Structure 1
């Protein structure tokens, strides 16, 4: 049941912060600010040096089962290329797994441990294969290669597919993606670029708040 609840929470939140950085400490700071700004689903990518340390630190502090809003967050791992990486992240506290591509072995492992897995797909064939493997949410990646109308095209033959565009989603087009049928969106560098450039990580919280407001407006 935990997997079902996690999927419900992720889709209810609707915005996933995809975090990259130079150190685990930097990513933890980004995550804290994103959570403060209202984005409660955090994806720590495995391109971060010592990424598992960041996942473990965040998983100890935040929980998807917390009744305290300040301590509620769903911590996951991104850029999981293989099942070994996914399993290590799960043992470090990751509650969901995201990959840049469809790796059947990774999907099998996540299904075994009842962990939501969101593989990156670009084609109808990849999405169909993902569904056949038991994937609940497909990451449309890279999203900047498509327009929101792509979701309607996908849902023509595959109306049962739940699509989460990632890459190229911004404040200016988030509403279009949601209204087109995206079940959630992944936000990457646009969330953190200003903060990294200026060294002021409170800008992540400010931008996160703007994304949450844009998401709520689109859903309304």
Structure 2
């Protein structure tokens, strides 16, 4: 990896960790995704994951990353299942990659391109293997089945692991996840409300983004 790539990867990692919230956008067309990202950024969530199972995801990534520069929004791709898809989304402009499971080839591809990668893991063995393979963040998935206590228990003997609970994170439990040691959280429907998007009510997303950021900040202060 070049020095420039290492610097870019480090900057993206710091950005994700500082913001603390990754907004997950799934199944939204390119034009509306631009409005969604704008709404989230206005509410203080400037890290956004567009899932690779979205129709036309490469065009969407190119449209979003050409609309917002890195200082405005850090845009990545999620639900990446293989190295070929990882390479494609990175070439389309994604700054980070999130997966639902651990695939060493995906991690290797992201490392090669100097991009932050967060594979999905559940057990301590998976977490350690993924981290040792070069993962920057570890997506604890599905968080709804595990809960904040699991995150705390995993981080007890393995405090060096940067954990990102995803799946079922809401305003009701986000502070508990941060208190348990989460580096950041991935938030889908609780933040990116499909009904609000369908009605063009993007102010709803802005308000929820502000609420999530406030909750994360509050938990970090306590």
Q: TM-score range by the shorter chain?
A: over 0.9
Q: What CA distance in whole angstroms lies between the structure 2 residues aligned with 1:46 and 1:95?
A: 14
Deviations 1:34-91 (A, max 9, x none): 1121100010001211011111111112222x3xxxxx11010001111111111111
Structure 1 consecutive aligned stretches of length 4 or more whose deviation exceeds 3 Å: 196-199
Partner of 1:13: 19
Matching of residues 64-75 of structure 1 within 5 Å:
64=70, 66=71, 72-75=72-75
Matching of residues 120-135 of structure 1 within 5 Å:
120-135=120-135
Question: Where does the alignment leave 5 or more consecutive residues of structure 2 unmatched?
Answer: 1-6
Distance 1:39 1:30, change over 3 A: same
Q: What CA distance in whole angstroms lies between the structure 1 residues aligned with 2:168 and 2:215?
A: 15
The reply to whether residue 41 of structure 1 matches residue 47 of structure 2 is yes
1:26 CA drift (Å): 2.6
Q: What CA distance in whole angstroms lies between the structure 2 residues aligned with 1:22 and 1:6?
A: 24
1:159 CA drift (Å): 2.0
Partner of 2:151: 151
Question: Where does the alignment leave 5 or more consecutive residues of structure 1 unmatched?
Answer: 67-71
Partner of 1:141: 141
| RMSD of aligned alpha carbons | 1.3
For normalisation by structure 1, the TM-score amounts to 0.93
1:125 CA drift (Å): 1.3
8 Å CA contact 1:20–1:27 kept in 2: the answer is no
Paired positions, count: 214
Q: What CA distance in whole angstroms lies between the structure 2 residues aligned with 1:7 and 1:181?
A: 16
Q: What CA distance in whole angstroms lies between the structure 2 residues aligned with 1:218 and 1:126?
A: 27
Q: What CA distance in whole angstroms lies between the structure 1 residues aligned with 2:74 and 2:121?
A: 23
For normalisation by structure 2, the TM-score amounts to 0.92
Which segment is superposed worse, 148-157 or 182-191? 148-157
Match of 1:60 among 66, 88, 103: 66
